[in-house]
Amino acid sequence: MYPIPESDRRRFRAYRMPAEWEPHQATYLVWPHNRDTWPGKFELIPAAFARIAAAIALCEPLRLIVEDDGEIGAVRAMVRAAARGDDAVMRRIEIFALATNDSWVRDHGPIFVNRIDPVAPGPAQIALDWKFNSWGEKYGRFDLDDVVPQRLAARFGFEVVEPGIVLEGGSIDSNGAGSLLTTESCLLNRNRNPKLTRVDIEDYLRTYLGAINILWLGEGIVGDDTDGHIDDLARFVARDTVVTVVEEDPADANYKVLRDNLARLATMRDERGGPLRVERLPMPPPVVHEGARLPASYANFYIANGGIVMPTFNCPADQIAAQTLVRLFPSRRVVGVPSDDLIWGLGSIHCLTQQHPAAPIKV
């Protein structure tokens, strides 16, 4: 759909995508069921999901999606074990059935924008249902994933608008004040929106997400089948602060890509015109399975109410990454989830979660 309808341009001037650290109503998580995503390792994956679920529910309500009602009891038991029987944690978890093709709700789930103009007409919050095409039609069916926002809206009663182009949640990161991080290798890839130019894509980001300052990094890390999602590279951790992964070994395949992104960040400004403060996270040593380099990155952490859930890879860099996140989020509890097996699905904790921000109070 292009050009953008004038009615949408007018309506969405009052809305902006919140930062992930702003208060959440809940988090969405889709229990694993697609064995093709973790070939040969699927039996190890539910335990990792249970740990993710328990870590999130320590902090906020969790909306946990399963394939059918018959799974609910077993899934609840696994999560309860991961939560060590904590009844307070379990009370924050709602488990319900909704058919999906896969678990990557960051990319096919709803992306919410909140009304920033207290007197503007319309709901306090709108969910955006971008098209999902399985990262450029790389895999099998994606018809069920593509309608997840509509089906969640029917269950939870929020309004949904379809911008009409392909966009995944892992490809963008917002500071909540109008600055948006993304990558050229993903959003400008011809396997998403081949008829749209960079200017066109920016028009959509400005119109529907309230972006006034779009910050473009270059390419993604080795093994990233999303063509370079931002959530493996760099994340806003405050309005004027970005944390980015850096590879110190010049012989590593990720060295040049990450140095290029670091150099770009050093020249960037926030929406007020001030320089960005750039913090660094290490990269873990290469994680390889069946000869394939996997997209392991500490940038793939999730910010929950009062907590950070981060991937770990059983190496000394885990502690450095955790200490960095503790320093950047001093009021939040940092919880590590072993992700050596999880990353075989080519994604990690942030890829598997999607926040439902708290709605502003309507005047």
Count the alpha carbons within 13 Å of 95 in the hemisphere toward its beta carbon: 23
Residues 96 and 239: their CA atoms lie apart, in Å, by 35
Closest CA to 71 of 108, 115, 30, 131: 30
Is 186 an active-site residue? no
Return d(Cα 53, Cα 225) in angstroms, integer.
25
Sheet of 241-246, strands arranged across: 234-238, 241-246, 277-282
Residue found by looking up tokens 């450029």 in the block: 136
* Paired tokens of 181: 């991080």
- The vertex-138 CA angle with 300 and 133, nearest 5°, equals 80
> Cα 162 from chain centroid?
19
Annotated catalytic residue: which of 59, 186, 315, 351? 351
List residues with catalytic annotation.
351
